[in-house]
Amino acid sequence: MGHIVSMLDFAKRLHDQHRHFSITILLIKPLFDPSYNLYVESLAASDTQFRYIHLPPPPPPSEHQVLTSLDKFFYDFLESYKSQVRDAIVHHVLSSSPSTARLAGLVVDCICTTMIDVADEFAAPTYIFFTSSAAFLGLMLHLPIRHALIGTEFTISDPDSLTHFPSYANPVPTSVIPSAIFNKQGGYSTSLNHARRFRNTKGIIVNTFEEFESCAMKSLLVSPESPPVYAVGPLLDLSGDARSGSDRDKILKWLDEQPPSSVVFLCFGSLGCFDPPQLEEIAAALEKSGHRFLWSIRRSPPKGEFGLPTDCGGDYDGLLPEGFLKRTKNRGMVCGWAPQTAVLGHAAVGGFVSHCGWNSILESLWFGVPMVTWPMYAEQQINAFEMVVELDLAVELRLDYKCEFGGIGDKVELVAAEEIERAVRRVMDGENLVRERVREMRDKSRKAVMEGGSSFDSLRRLVEDMLGNH
The residue that leads in pLDDT, 419 or 160, is: 419
Across the chain, mean pLDDT equals 90
Q: What is the pLDDT of residue 261?
A: 97
Range name among 202-216, 241-255, 274-288 with the lowest pLDDT average: 241-255
Q: What is the pLDDT of residue 35?
A: 59
| 342 Cα distance to chain centroid | 18
300-329 as b/e, with b when 16 or more CB fall inside 10 Å? beeeeeeebbebbeeebeebbeeebeeebe
Cα 6 to Cα 328: distance, rounded to the nearest angstrom: 36
Q: What is the pLDDT of residue 46?
A: 72
The stretch 154-161 carries a mean pLDDT of 80
Evaluate whether 160 touches 109 at the Cβ level (below 8 Å): no
Q: What is the pLDDT of residue 72?
A: 87
Cα 1 to Cα 314: distance, rounded to the nearest angstrom: 24
Coil, helix or strand at residue 128: strand
The stretch 64-75 carries a mean pLDDT of 79
Question: Does position 192 have pLDDT exceeding 80, yes or no?
Answer: yes
Q: How many other CB atoms are there within 10 angstroms of residue 32's CB atom? A: 13
Cα 181 to Cα 162: distance, rounded to the nearest angstrom: 15
The stretch 437-459 carries a mean pLDDT of 98
Per-residue pLDDT band for 187 (boundaries 50, 70, 90) equals: very high
Q: What is the pLDDT of residue 71?
A: 86
The stretch 440-455 carries a mean pLDDT of 98
Q: What is the pLDDT of residue 61?
A: 65
Closest C-alpha to 391, from 359, 365, 360, 414? 365
Evaluate whether 462 touches 456 at the Cβ level (below 8 Å): no
Cα 279 to Cα 227: distance, rounded to the nearest angstrom: 45
- Show the domains of the chain with their CATH numbers: 2-233+450-467 (3.40.50.2000), 248-445 (3.40.50.2000)
Range name among 121-130, 281-290, 298-307, 328-337 with the lowest pLDDT average: 298-307
Question: Does position 180 have pLDDT exceeding 50, yes or no?
Answer: yes
Per-residue pLDDT band for 74 (boundaries 50, 70, 90) equals: confident
The residue that leads in pLDDT, 447 or 102, is: 447
Q: What is the pLDDT of residue 407?
A: 47
User: Strand order in 203-206's β-sheet?
Assistant: 106-109, 126-130, 203-206, 229-231
Q: Over the stretch 4-31, which tens digit does the pLDDT of each residue have?
A: 889 999 999 999 998 888 999 998 876 6
For the chain, percent of residues with pLDDT exceeding 90: 69
Q: Over the stretch 109-125, which tens digit does the pLDDT of each residue have?
A: 999 999 999 999 999 99
Question: Quick one: which H or E segment has residue 254?
Answer: helix 248-256
Cα 9 to Cα 236: distance, rounded to the nearest angstrom: 7
Cα 210 to Cα 139: distance, rounded to the nearest angstrom: 17
Question: Does position 199 have pLDDT exceeding 90, yes or no?
Answer: yes
The residue that leads in pLDDT, 371 or 160, is: 371
The stretch 57-79 carries a mean pLDDT of 78
In this prediction the pTM is 0.94
Parallel, antiparallel or unpaired: strands 24-28 and 51-55:
parallel
Parallel, antiparallel or unpaired: strands 332-335 and 349-354:
unpaired
Question: Cβ neighbours of residue 294 under 8 Å, at least 6 residues apart?
Answer: 251, 254, 255, 263, 264, 265, 266, 332, 333, 335, 338, 343, 349
Q: What is the pLDDT of residue 224?
A: 86
Question: Does position 405 have pLDDT exceeding 80, yes or no?
Answer: no
Q: How far apart are the first and last CA of the chain?
A: 32
The stretch 420-429 carries a mean pLDDT of 98
* Phi-psi category of residue 368: left, alpha or beta, with phi > 0 → left and psi -120 to 50 → alpha: left
DSSP 265: E
Per-residue pLDDT band for 293 (boundaries 50, 70, 90) equals: very high
Parallel, antiparallel or unpaired: strands 310-311 and 298-299:
antiparallel
